[in-house]
Structure 1
Amino acid sequence: MTLPVAPSGTDTSTPPDDQGLDRRGFLTLATAGVAGSALTVTVGSMAPAAAAPADATGTAGTTSADPRKRELRAMWIASVVNIDWPSRTGLSADELKAEYRHWLDVAVRFRLNAVFVQVRPTADAFWPSPYEPWSQYLTGTQGQDPGFDPLEFMVAETHARNLELHAWYNPYRVSMQADPTRLVPEHPARQHPDWAWAYGGKLYFDPGKPEAREHIYRAILHSVGHYDLDGVHFDDYFYPYPVSGQELPDADTYATYGAGFATVEDWRRHNVDTFVREISVRIKQIKPWVKFGISPFGIWRNASTDPRGSDTGGTQSYDAQYADTRRWVLEGWLDYINPQIYWQIGLAVADYAKLVPWWADVASRSNTHLYIGEALYKVTSGVFTDPDELSNHLDLCHDVTAQGTPVHGNAWYSANHLPQDVGGAMSRVLADHYTRPALVPVIPGLPGTAVRPPVLARAEHGPDGVVLRWLDAAPLRTRATSFAVYRADGHRKHVDVEDATHLVATTRARGGAVQDLVDTTAEPGAAYTYVVTALDRVWNESDPSPVRHA
């Protein structure tokens, strides 16, 4: 995901008087579309609102003071032109591994539960693919073996920290430059020059060529079949963003394959629809539990163009990239939609407070989960000037959820910007919303496993915290993928596992039936009650174990 095209226009409106508005009052107005486009948020005292009931996936409406037990918390790790990882070409295998571990440690530090890692940025691969060459962003030379299997390493390290790994692919982009002779001779775009064309200084596979589509399917699905991935992830790049004064060079392809379509635009949308629908089907044929999600540009269409669209005035993905993202959700082709709503609350042409409810309404009509893409990089660049902007975004998402149209989580672009924490923006998110770990929401329709409650055998104070030991006594085929540990103050008869403040840790199952964890957050000598639950690979949860006191 390179930076998306900004919506057209500038914000010149005058802010209304916000005297006397507390934070929740502001957000209520913003959600209703009343807030002015340049309104400055004044954070004051905030009375907690009554919690809304949990939806079918366990995501409840909360105030900003209440953590959510289930929400996706992800960050993108971009590899194209070495944005995040690898930080540069020419690193040794050990240096590549150390950098990736660093980004996982950042994810853990900010209590995230997933990473979206770019593994096929330009028709190349971060694994030994029989279809495409090694990525140049690993070594600096396309086709050069980095000396290990990065994707195998990523899977192992990510799962060791009990994070989900969504492999991120760019379907059509071939190269960030336009000269095919600079690709290795065995590259499919050189072997089949009729599959690709140049546009805007880059090379792309032609989305209208059935043979090119089949190649892309094979290249992506090879990794799905050979690695333990949690998700397949695309960003906003389908047909390239328009370049002024240039026409897409697909007239010959349209002449060959466009019969029956009234316009070339309808045909292009059909090409992308076909690709999205078909790869969705093929992923599930290989591994039904692997999630398929797309992170499109944040505006489908403006209401001024289409009454079904959002109250916005920016670039439209339906028309610019020929990406009918609304249809993909309503047709059920995706497990999740992750629109890049990379604008602030109140921005006239693309108001976060209008786009989030619009997407939530669309997603609520299907079983598609909604994760909102957040422009953390705009804090670093200075576009977002209010250090509370991103925390306010999550408040608003929670309010939209409380209205019955769930937002199931957020994803942060991109990894480099989390530890920079410019203006303390991510520290505010951590303090306001991520005070506890969170379980990934369960997506309806994914195949689950009937995991059994663990047997918690030990909870004793030790020199480094409370030492916990439990047994997963289920048969191998129904053993847990991971576990959730809950703790309540004092000695009790039970622990409410739906209370997110009781969740202290999640941990990946490690070989065998006996599992251990040290709760290093426990106060020495304090009285606690613990329970443990089992989680399958798609985060279905067992009943809790019997309690154990420490």
Structure 2
Amino acid sequence: MWRSKIRLAAAALTAAMSAGALAGCGIPALGGTDERGAAARAPVPPGADAECAGVPAPDGAKARQLRGMWIATVGGIDWPKGAGRSAAEQKKEFTRLLDTARQMNMNAVFVQIRPNSDAFYDSPLEPWSQWITGTQGKDPGYDVLAFMLKEAHARNLEFHAWFNPYRVSRDDDLKKLSDKSPARRHPEWVRKYGDGLWYDPGIPQVRELATKAVMDVVGKYDIDAVHFDDYFYPYPEGGEFPDQATYKARGAGMDKDDWRRRNVDLLVEDLSRRIHEAKPWVRFGISPFGVWRNKSSDPAGSDTRALQSYDDVYADTRKWIKKGWLDYVTPQLYWPIGDSRADYAELVAWWAEQVKGTDVHLTIGQGAYRVGADSAWKDPAELSRHLTLNAKYPQVNGDVFFSASDIAENRRGFAQRLRDDHYARPALRPAAAGGKAPPPVQDTAARPHGDGDVKVTWRPSEGAAAYAVYRVDGERAACAPVDPAHLIAAVRGGGIIDPSAEPGRTYTYYVTALDRLHHQSAPARGVTVTAPKG
């Protein structure tokens, strides 16, 4: 369990970032969790906190946000830096990225665990990824995914397992792949295109392989979500994708473009069903290219002049939203406000309209990698302006940044600006459809701890996956509604140490319980304490 004790104060963050890095920061959590994320100690039975019956849960729906970052593993973009480094070095690098997320008051990571028909776990279907050891198929000596999950959950970071369904290799030589690779065993599934190798999405066995790979992880690991990015059929690289023989054999007279879209639809629909049947609390989300179709091609499209995911990679994301196959969608809106081809402001409005009236959550993919890249991105406040604009649309539930290394680098101070302007306090994740709030916790206690800190503990609640801790100045009523603005921590386990309490100051702490889908209980009886003077 992570027990780093670093001040929440903004001065500490500024000092860490001025040193050129975002160090780990947050309120230490106490206690452990089981496979479902529920606290491992004796739970509170349902309805146990009758003393505060009738007190509502903090109504923070507008304040709730998913705040995440992608951790790309292909090519060592974010991690691991330099395949083949020792397990200890790799673990240290990964936890440093997670601490960056915590420092930024983020609450989710999107980690690429199947980049090239390979695996960051011991898979019965595919070889170990080359991006871990430098050699595809070589055992790294530890369960990489289990380690990543444990460390993410210890920091109460939601873990979205990121899969690429069809990409085989960034090299076009099949013989360089491990003997265990399905592409070596079934070369008839593979197509050379551009500089790499791809599975043909029109072959049913290919879709089944991708589905089995996902469901193997869903069944064996305590992930919070399955995540796809924008790679379906490959992006155009001159010439047509070589699936003519597959289309001739399986096209059944359909228009070729419609047939390709149907192939992708079949994978998305089937995976959605299987994931939710296996574990209803595991969500399924996709991060498509930011333009579905231009209005010039379709009146329902956006007022843009860009590549179209519907036509160019055969991904009908709008249909997936309307059909309810997705729990969330995270379009990659990697353009600045006012861009002549694809204006960020236009696209946020368009995507907000698509999810309106559905249960699909909308989060926005933000291009942190673009900061400083050209004249349009020289201003480090550009991404902060994006988040300010998002606040005009109640359908926008948060943001995910590509990628972790850029957040950690804090180029031109853009990450500091984001935290100062938007992420100064922690946030609970938006509640998803299904599930229900656990019963309130009991036996909340607060007492002085160590050098001026306060230790807050509670007895875990049955069915709870995490807990929210609120702090109010002064002595307040034990049973009272809580303003969501007073949230100071969201953790797993049965307690926290609050290092940001000011010595000699009196506070009242309230604790709520949340299920796996972030439904929140009413607050337990508040407890009042005066922080010690050190």
Q: What TM-score bracket applies, with the shorter chain setting the length?
A: 0.7 to 0.9
Q: Is 1:357 the counterpart of 2:349 in the alignment?
A: yes
Partner SS state of residue 546, structure 1: coil
Cα gap change, 1:57 to 1:517, in 2 (>3 Å): closer
> How far apart in 2 are the matches of 1:497 and 1:394?
29
Q: Is the 8 A contact 2:285 2:326 kept in 1?
A: yes
Q: Is 1:170 the counterpart of 2:164 in the alignment?
A: yes
Q: Is the 8 A contact 1:529 1:548 kept in 2?
A: yes
What's the C-alpha RMSD, in Å, of the aligned pairs?
A: 1.6
CA deviations over 1:332-355 (Å, ceiling 9, x no partner) = 000000000001001011001010
Q: Is the 8 A contact 1:336 1:370 kept in 2?
A: yes
Q: Is 1:124 the counterpart of 2:112 in the alignment?
A: no
Partner SS state of residue 400, structure 1: coil
Q: Is 1:196 the counterpart of 2:190 in the alignment?
A: yes
Q: Is 1:400 the counterpart of 2:393 in the alignment?
A: yes
Paired position in structure 1 for 2:439: 451
Task: List runs of 5+ in structure 2 lacking aligned partners.
Answer: 1-57, 530-534
Identify the structure with bigger relative contact order (alpha carbons < 8 Å, sequence gap 6+).
2
Q: Write the mapping of 1:364-443 to structure 2, written as runs, cut at 5 A.
A: 364-382=356-374, 383-401=376-394, 406-443=395-432
Q: Which amino acid aligns with 1:59?
A: A
CA apart distance, 1:479 = 3.8
Paired position in structure 1 for 2:518: 539
CA apart distance, 1:462 = 4.4
Q: Write the mapping of 1:505-544 to structure 2, written as runs, cut at 5 A.
A: 505-509=489-493, 515-544=494-523
Paired position in structure 2 for 1:489: 473
Q: Is the 8 A contact 2:479 2:525 kept in 1?
A: no
Q: Write the mapping of 1:332-343 to structure 2, written as runs, cut at 5 A.
A: 332-343=324-335
Identity %: 50
Q: Write the mapping of 1:149-188 to structure 2, written as runs, cut at 5 A.
A: 149-188=143-182
Task: List runs of 5+ in structure 1 lacking aligned partners.
Answer: 1-55, 61-67, 510-514
Q: Is the 8 A contact 2:512 2:521 kept in 1?
A: yes
Q: Is the 8 A contact 1:464 1:518 kept in 2?
A: no
CA apart distance, 1:499 = 2.9
Partner SS state of residue 256, structure 1: helix
Partner SS state of residue 227, structure 2: strand
Q: Which amino acid aligns with 1:399?
A: K
> How far apart in 1 are the matches of 2:121 and 2:481?
40
> How far apart in 1 are the matches of 2:436 and 2:140?
36
CA apart distance, 1:464 = 4.0
> How far apart in 2 are the matches of 1:497 and 1:302?
47
CA apart distance, 1:459 = 3.8
Paired position in structure 2 for 1:467: 455
Partner SS state of residue 348, structure 2: helix
Q: Is the 8 A contact 2:477 2:526 kept in 1?
A: yes
- Which deviates the most, 246-255 or 332-341? 246-255
Paired position in structure 2 for 1:274: 266
Q: Is 1:253 the counterpart of 2:246 in the alignment?
A: yes
> How far apart in 1 are the matches of 2:201 and 2:350?
29
Q: Which amino acid aligns with 1:419?
A: A
> How far apart in 2 are the matches of 1:449 and 1:441?
13
> How far apart in 2 are the matches of 1:531 and 1:174?
50
CA apart distance, 1:469 = 1.8
> How far apart in 2 are the matches of 1:479 and 1:167?
23
CA apart distance, 1:538 = 1.6
CA apart distance, 1:539 = 1.2
> How far apart in 2 are the matches of 1:500 and 1:437?
10
> How far apart in 1 are the matches of 2:248 and 2:381?
52
CA deviations over 1:342-374 (Å, ceiling 9, x no partner) = 010010110010100110110113110000000
CA deviations over 1:486-516 (Å, ceiling 9, x no partner) = 001111126876633200011112xxxxx23
> How far apart in 2 are the matches of 1:241 and 1:91?
32
CA apart distance, 1:386 = 1.7
Q: Write the mapping of 1:280-299 to structure 2, written as runs, cut at 5 A.
A: 280-299=272-291
Q: Which amino acid aligns with 2:112?
A: Q
Q: Which amino acid aligns with 2:377?
A: F
Q: Is the 8 A contact 1:197 1:249 kept in 2?
A: yes
Partner SS state of residue 364, structure 2: strand
Q: Which amino acid aligns with 1:320?
A: D
> How far apart in 2 are the matches of 1:232 and 1:307?
32
CA apart distance, 1:461 = 5.8
Q: Is the 8 A contact 2:164 2:228 kept in 1?
A: yes
1:504 to 488, 492, 498: 488
Paired position in structure 2 for 1:20: none
1:315 to 307, 317, 326: 307
Cα gap change, 1:305 to 1:218, in 2 (>3 Å): same
Paired position in structure 2 for 1:10: none
> How far apart in 1 are the matches of 2:358 and 2:382?
29
- Which deviates the most, 224-233 or 530-539? 530-539
Q: Which amino acid aligns with 1:395?
A: T
Tell me the matched-pair count.
471
CA deviations over 1:258-310 (Å, ceiling 9, x no partner) = 0041x110100000011110111111121111010000000000111100001
Paired position in structure 2 for 1:16: none
CA apart distance, 1:455 = 2.9
> How far apart in 2 are the matches of 1:243 and 1:365?
37
Cα gap change, 1:528 to 1:193, in 2 (>3 Å): same
Partner SS state of residue 399, structure 1: coil
Partner SS state of residue 98, structure 1: helix
Which TM-score applies when normalising by structure 1? 0.83
Q: Is the 8 A contact 1:467 1:519 kept in 2?
A: yes
Partner SS state of residue 142, structure 2: coil
> How far apart in 2 are the matches of 1:219 and 1:57?
39
Paired position in structure 1 for 2:229: 235
> How far apart in 2 are the matches of 1:269 and 1:373?
23
Cα gap change, 1:192 to 1:469, in 2 (>3 Å): same
Partner SS state of residue 142, structure 1: coil
Paired position in structure 1 for 2:6: none
Q: Which amino acid aligns with 1:120?
A: R
Paired position in structure 2 for 1:83: 77
Q: Is the 8 A contact 1:436 1:500 kept in 2?
A: no
